[in-house]
Structure 1
Amino acid sequence: MPGNRPLYEQVMNMGHSAAWDQQWDKAIAAYGRAVQEFPDDPAAHNSLGLALLQARRLEDALKVYTRAHQLAPEDPIPLEKSADVLERLGRMKEAAQQYINVAEVYLSQRDLEKAIDNWERATHLTSGLAHIHQRLAMAYERTGQRQKSINQYLRLAFDFQSAQRTDIATQAVERALRIDPKNANALNTLQALKNGAPLSPDMLEDSEIDQEPKRQRGFEAAPDKGKATGEQVAAEASPLGPLGEAVENALAALAAYVFDTDMSETGILHAVQGIEYQRQGLVSEAVGAYERAIAAHMSHPALHFNLGVLQLELEHWKEAARHLELTTDDPPLAAGAMHGLSQIYNALGNPRAASFHLVQALRLVDIDMAASPEDADQLSEIYDKLTGGIDQADEQQLRNMNRRFLELLTGPEWKQRVTKTRRQLEEAITLQDPESLINIMPYINDHITEGLNLIDAYVRNGLFNLAMDQAHYMLESAPDYLPLHWRIGQILLERDNIQGAINKYNLVAKTYLVRGDKERATEILQEALKVAPMDTSLHQSLIEVLVEMEKWDQVLSQYVDLADAYYQLADTDSARATYQSAIQLAQRIDTPKDQIVHILHRMGDIDISRLDLRQAMRTYEQIRKLDPEDEQARRALVDLYYRLNDPISAIRELDELLRVYAKQHRANRIIQVLEEEVTRYPGDMALRSRLAAVYRQTGSVPKAVEQLDSLAELQLESGLHGDALVTIRRIISMNPDRLEDYQRLLQQLSG
């Protein structure tokens, strides 16, 4: 059976809190409970494994990580952690094999860099891994890390000489010399092999191993896959923006591709050269190598991306665009490709195309940082609106926008700026005219963005006077920027100046109406009603706008909300009149029956509260006609008929309701309703007779006798001796307690 999801989330959060405080016993208990709730959940196992590892319960951690790997074999994390545990336990050979297994998972995911890391860890733990040294040598060779590749080939030479395979050792050294024919260590090793001299690992190490730089020509290494926020994002982001991050993704993807491809292919050799040249910052040489790879019929998105970026650096605009266009559908490269294309079209004097590609780059980056699919969908809507505004703007406005966005996507903190600016864009698009950039883009600048952030910070800290001062200061330079007016309304609310806030919202809504933007006026009035749901003037203004727009379903909803507001304000006359208007509209637009019934019930409540019983009766009869099985309406009618001294109609209505219950096989409800009605109207003989019959049918003889006894008393008090005799005979037929008493009573009444 599926587990309890809320409980699972609760204990997982408890585990995270305990882990944060390094209270590992508590974390283990919480994560263990999560595993019990969902035994097949990999995340819970991974968290439990980490807590056990930190608590130094290594054997237990190993078992948990092993299970986590079984649940998610494509996830390298459990394997990697179990290898770490094995290493701590001193089981080096097993740990080495596990690191090799981890490398295979990363390799299947085209993450050659992490595969290399795990191969290296395996070789450090145990000797005799010739096949891993060989794979490392090939991986380094194909990713342009020449010295590391040579060192691995020389290490292979040592291992094969130790295994009495001098011939293979010699081949390994010769492979190293093909990489660098003048490498001193390789030449000395080859000479030693020819002379039959033993090799030593110490003589194979190069004192000046080429440490591959993490950054070349301003490009930073791309961050690990996954989401990061705040300072971590800023620290990891490439200062060259999406383009810089995509360069590292492309280099890694191309390296992984060539690693899996036969090195005898000419195109692969050229691609390897291109990677090496690009890492060294030799732009022209890298372009030549990549073009030779393409001429040799090699095709890969990362190859075209790298070539496009290098052509962009050389200002070969058209060639750069041609190659980058081929990579816009590749997820790891798409944002960078759009960023690069925007720079190209900006340089070519095509601001509209540049704007389109810039917005797409922003969209891809922002959605990638979204916390959930729902957030991603909302972001897509925002950028769809922004894209739609590009066609409406003139070229000067687009140039201003491009300049702003290109600045936005540059520098180490560009990801943080994207988030902040997008929030302002979202607000501006929501509050301004989304079909035109004319009213939006002048305000998308650091001055406005930081000012809005400052207002928000003041509000969060309860400094409402400072927030209001800042807002008014900003209005001097941006008097028609509606997000500012919106914030002033929010500040007034925080200061409990409800009427002032409503006036401000009304002002914003009227501004939209003057502009002819009824959609935005509607949205503002709806937001204002969330703040002041009892303000009937806001409801009326909104209804007027919606009627003009002929949005009848929304008009109906607002009629109901307005009537509810009147009712809560004790203005029952206005409430009922508004409900009546809602009914008339509902009948005209063919509203579903259940909505009409819902409104009629509210009207019935008002009629009863006003003691207008006959009008209430007509209202509930109307409901019964629409829905014969409406229990609430029939119960109300039973009560109304009694109150109007019409017990015959009341019993008739009750019998119809009991038939509904019988049709629905709700025997308990029949008894419950009859008991309630008898309690409410104890002198009604028809009610007691029906309740007694139901008790007898359900085998509750004592209760049936009790009701018949009371019925007989009522009949005698009313002078209905014949009816009383019939009732007493019914009691005797059930063989009740005190049978003799009932028999004597029957004789007395009959005599």
Structure 2
Amino acid sequence: RAWQQAIELQPDYLPAHSNLADTYARLNQIPRAVREYLHIARMLRDRGQHHTARDICAQALLLDAENVEANALMEVLKLEEDEAPVEEQQLPSPNGGVSPADLAQDRALEELAGIPFEDQPIAQVEAAELPPADRPKPTEPALSRHAVDTLITQAIDFQTRGLLDEAIECYRQAIVAGVDRPAVHFNLGLLYQQRLRFRQAIERLSVAVHHSAYTVGSHFALGECFKALGRHDEALEHFLQALKIVDLGTVQHSQADDLIQLYEALAHSYAAKGDRDTALEFTNSLIEFFSSKGWEDKARTARHRLDSLSDGGTRSLAEMLTVPNAEAIFAAMVMSQEYLKRGMEMAATDLCFQAIAKAPFYLPLHERLAEILAEQDHIEAAVAKYEMVAEAYMIRGEPQHTIGVYKRLLRLSPLDVVVRSRVIDLLHNSGAIDETLEQYLELADAYYQLMQLPKAVEKYNEALRLVPRAPEPRDWQVRVLRRLTELLLRTGDWPSASGALGALVELCPDDERARLNLIDVLYKAGRGSQADKQTEALTRAHSRAGDHEQVISLLTEAMRRQPQQMALRGRLARAYMDAGMRDEAVEQLDILGEMQLEAGLHWHAITTLKAIIALEPANLEAYKQLLRQIGG
């Protein structure tokens, strides 16, 4: 009771909370102890003491390992603490709250301080990243090497002592003398900015921005200059470029293209809206982020958090800066995920609605709500929510997120051909040909399951027209043709099937199954002569190799499909003869002779009987008598 009274008098007094929690634990009042430990952990988290907060949260989990709130908080702390230990130990941050421009200035001063010790011409541009053919030739400055060294040394001295005008004059003289170093342009640009000579600052920074060591710092400083001039669109463009480059440094190489598209879409979105107040608010958020202590660490932490919450899609750091109550929102995302894992859908739903009330335009929250609805088997509601989110992403000009949402929708409703068609259009427009073709196959299969066979054939043919643009067109053509031929064989469209199979066999001449299908279809289409040519092609290689067994096997399968084709039976009889299998050859020739007589092919039957007699079968006399009867 004493500790409770102490807390009432001083709610933020940690020792009182700690003693109260320990007391509850000793008294085996587990729920109260856990609740108190979690309260302590949150207080420590708010103070930036992530290590200690995790230890306290672990104590709560020792008492109740299944506690949802404790597990969710631990996940949040793990995400945040990975990049937070330096601050907790009260060590100086690696960038100490300085902006990208300040960091780049330190780099520039360090570079320029080493100039007197360099051997190459002082005016040479630092272009190590350029191909040798594109590197500028060394040039000698208008002043002597000693004079230029003196100018640079004086410029650094004046700049570090805050004598801006004197530093500006030294850097300006160095450039006039032929010194064309990005570090010089960058420092001069910053000095002009500090003297409020923004247009001259922009001119110098626009040179430095093209050199990787100064790109982020230059973009940030350019953003500040344009903002000071009231040119807010250009300011936002440069701040976004700075954030994009920082963000690209936090993602995997495979995510880079998607991330670049997100920033392009974001820039286009602000330009298209023409909403000056919103753009200015976002600009201020970017400035605040880059001016905050440990912004590089925050960027890495934010990336880890975003990737842990994403469902396969890439998200940008800019997204976090546009979310009100970002910390609370992302904590809610983590906790709702934990609730879902534990099958507590109602708790996850309530938490989602609370978060949406705080950030109604943050679409990942709506995606999470759709996911929860799906877990509750409210499929129609989940589909409707996903459609709403996809439409919102589309309006924002974010095709990759639109595609991601549609794909999740299709997992719930795989036969939704309208949505599948939208995904195809989006993927096609983004140049993702392989993914587009995959979706075409899924769409055709959906139409097949819906018994809309002509539409399925149509989609396969559309895919074939797209195949030449694929990275591996031959592989895709074979894959699509196989699916198409299977469908055409089921529909009985023999002319179309023969065309598709002919193309497949041309691509895959060793595909015996495809050639057998082609022979069958050609016979069904009344194109016997072409079927005979394909039969010859089917057995040619095996015949030349003396592989009689394989020849017989292939011809037997072809004849099983077309038992009335006399040409096939004749080939099978010849194959048996080549293999020395006299009785089997006689059997096939006997059947062939009967078929010829029934068809009125008198002279063909005589030839067949003579072939049987030449084999000297057991009932030779009977065949000779039959030959005499028919006039042979």
Query: Which of 440, 444, 451 is equivalent to 2:322?
Result: 444
Deviation at 1:651, TM superposition (A): 6.8
State the structure with bigger RCO (CA 8 A, min sep 6), 1 or 2: 2
State whether structure 2 residue 497 is matched by structure 1 residue 620: yes
Q: 1:240 is paired with a residue of what secondary structure?
A: coil
Residue in structure 2 matched with residue 656 of structure 1 by the alignment: 533
State whether structure 2 residue 411 is matched by structure 1 residue 531: yes
- Give the Cα separation in 2 of the matches to 1:233 and 1:355: 31
Query: Which of 339, 350, 353 is equivalent to 1:472?
Result: 353
Query: Which of 210, 217, 240 is equivalent to 2:98?
Result: 240
State whether structure 2 residue 589 is matched by structure 1 residue 705: no
Query: Which of 448, 452, 458 is equivalent to 1:575?
Result: 452
Query: Which of 255, 261, 269 is equivalent to 2:113?
Result: 255
Residue 690 to residue 355, structure 1, CA distance change in 2 (3 Å) = same
- Give the Cα separation in 1 of the matches to 2:176 and 2:392: 61
Deviation at 1:408, TM superposition (A): 1.2
Offset from partner CA, 1:163-204 (integer Å, 9 cap, x none):
xxxxxxxxxxxxxxxxxxxxxxxxxxxxxxxxxxxxxxxxxx
- Give the Cα separation in 1 of the matches to 2:383 and 2:244: 35
- Give the Cα separation in 2 of the matches to 1:395 and 1:717: 92
Residue in structure 2 matched with residue 3 of structure 1 by the alignment: none
- Give the Cα separation in 2 of the matches to 1:366 and 1:518: 17
Q: Unaligned regions of 5+ residues in structure 1, if any?
A: 1-228, 435-439, 608-614, 733-741
Residue in structure 2 matched with residue 382 of structure 1 by the alignment: 262
Give, as a single letter, the amino acid of the residue that structure 1 aligns with 2:148: G
- Give the Cα separation in 2 of the matches to 1:605 and 1:619: 9
Residue 634 to residue 529, structure 1, CA distance change in 2 (3 Å) = farther
1:280-679 matches, cutoff 5 A: 286-287=167-168, 289-291=170-172, 293-294=174-175, 297-313=178-194, 315-372=196-253, 374-392=254-272, 393-418=274-299, 444-445=322-323, 447-448=325-326, 450-452=328-330, 454-456=332-334, 458-459=336-337, 462=341, 465=345, 466-493=347-374, 497-509=378-390, 523=403, 526-532=406-412, 534=414, 536=415, 538-540=416-418, 561-565=442-446, 567-568=448-449, 571=450, 574-579=451-456, 601-607=485-491, 615-617=492-494, 620=497, 623=500, 635-636=516-517, 654-661=531-538, 672-677=553-558
Deviation at 1:294, TM superposition (A): 4.4
Give, as a single letter, the amino acid of the residue that structure 1 aligns with 2:263: Y
1:736-747 matches, cutoff 5 A: 742=617, 745-746=619-620
Are the equivalent residues in 1 in contact too, given 2:573–2:586 (CA < 8 A)?
Answer: no
Deviation at 1:441, TM superposition (A): 8.5
Give, as a single letter, the amino acid of the residue that structure 2 aligns with 1:459: Q
Are the equivalent residues in 2 in contact too, given 1:637–1:650 (CA < 8 A)?
Answer: no
Give, as a single letter, the amino acid of the residue that structure 2 aligns with 1:447: N
Are the equivalent residues in 1 in contact too, given 2:515–2:538 (CA < 8 A)?
Answer: no
Give, as a single letter, the amino acid of the residue that structure 2 aligns with 1:620: A
Q: Unaligned regions of 5+ residues in structure 2, if any?
A: 1-81, 88-92, 123-143, 469-476, 598-604, 626-632
Offset from partner CA, 1:382-401 (integer Å, 9 cap, x none):
22222323433233222211
Residue 650 to residue 674, structure 1, CA distance change in 2 (3 Å) = farther
TM-score (norm: length of structure 2): 0.59
- Give the Cα separation in 2 of the matches to 1:274 and 1:719: 107
Deviation at 1:656, TM superposition (A): 3.5
Q: 1:239 is paired with a residue of what secondary structure?
A: coil
Are the equivalent residues in 2 in contact too, given 1:335–1:364 (CA < 8 A)?
Answer: yes
- Give the Cα separation in 1 of the matches to 2:352 and 2:156: 53
Deviation at 1:403, TM superposition (A): 0.7
Percentage identity across paired residues of the two chains: 24
Are the equivalent residues in 2 in contact too, given 1:508–1:521 (CA < 8 A)?
Answer: no
Are the equivalent residues in 1 in contact too, given 2:444–2:456 (CA < 8 A)?
Answer: yes
- Give the Cα separation in 1 of the matches to 2:83 and 2:192: 34
Residue 619 to residue 394, structure 1, CA distance change in 2 (3 Å) = closer
Are the equivalent residues in 2 in contact too, given 1:328–1:335 (CA < 8 A)?
Answer: yes
Deviation at 1:302, TM superposition (A): 0.7
Residue 302 to residue 238, structure 1, CA distance change in 2 (3 Å) = farther
Give, as a single letter, the amino acid of the residue that structure 2 aligns with 1:472: F
- Give the Cα separation in 1 of the matches to 2:463 and 2:152: 70
Number of aligned residues = 480
1:21-40 matches, cutoff 5 A: none
Give, as a single letter, the amino acid of the residue that structure 1 aligns with 2:110: A
Q: 1:252 is paired with a residue of what secondary structure?
A: helix
Which piece of structure 1 moves more, 301-310 or 475-484?
A: 475-484
Deviation at 1:355, TM superposition (A): 1.1
Offset from partner CA, 1:421-471 (integer Å, 9 cap, x none):
7897999xx999x9xxxxx98970451465146414642672564543332
Deviation at 1:641, TM superposition (A): 9.3
Deviation at 1:414, TM superposition (A): 1.4
- Give the Cα separation in 1 of the matches to 2:461 and 2:258: 37
Deviation at 1:490, TM superposition (A): 2.8
Residue 716 to residue 624, structure 1, CA distance change in 2 (3 Å) = closer
Q: 1:326 is paired with a residue of what secondary structure?
A: helix
- Give the Cα separation in 1 of the matches to 2:96 and 2:348: 34
Q: 2:208 is paired with a residue of what secondary structure?
A: coil
Residue in structure 1 matched with residue 35 of structure 2 by the alignment: none
- Give the Cα separation in 1 of the matches to 2:454 and 2:239: 54
Deviation at 1:493, TM superposition (A): 4.0
Residue 395 to residue 529, structure 1, CA distance change in 2 (3 Å) = closer
- Give the Cα separation in 2 of the matches to 1:383 and 1:590: 29
Are the equivalent residues in 2 in contact too, given 1:634–1:657 (CA < 8 A)?
Answer: yes
- Give the Cα separation in 2 of the matches to 1:322 and 1:586: 51
Q: 2:230 is paired with a residue of what secondary structure?
A: coil
Are the equivalent residues in 1 in contact too, given 2:444–2:455 (CA < 8 A)?
Answer: yes
Give, as a single letter, the amino acid of the residue that structure 2 aligns with 1:328: V
- Give the Cα separation in 1 of the matches to 2:159 and 2:615: 105
Are the equivalent residues in 1 in contact too, given 2:248–2:256 (CA < 8 A)?
Answer: yes
Are the equivalent residues in 1 in contact too, given 2:104–2:213 (CA < 8 A)?
Answer: yes
- Give the Cα separation in 2 of the matches to 1:446 and 1:709: 89
Give, as a single letter, the amino acid of the residue that structure 2 aligns with 1:726: K
Q: 2:184 is paired with a residue of what secondary structure?
A: helix
- Give the Cα separation in 2 of the matches to 1:449 and 1:314: 37
Which has the higher Rg, Structure 1 or Structure 2?
1
Are the equivalent residues in 2 in contact too, given 1:409–1:418 (CA < 8 A)?
Answer: no
Are the equivalent residues in 2 in contact too, given 1:529–1:539 (CA < 8 A)?
Answer: no
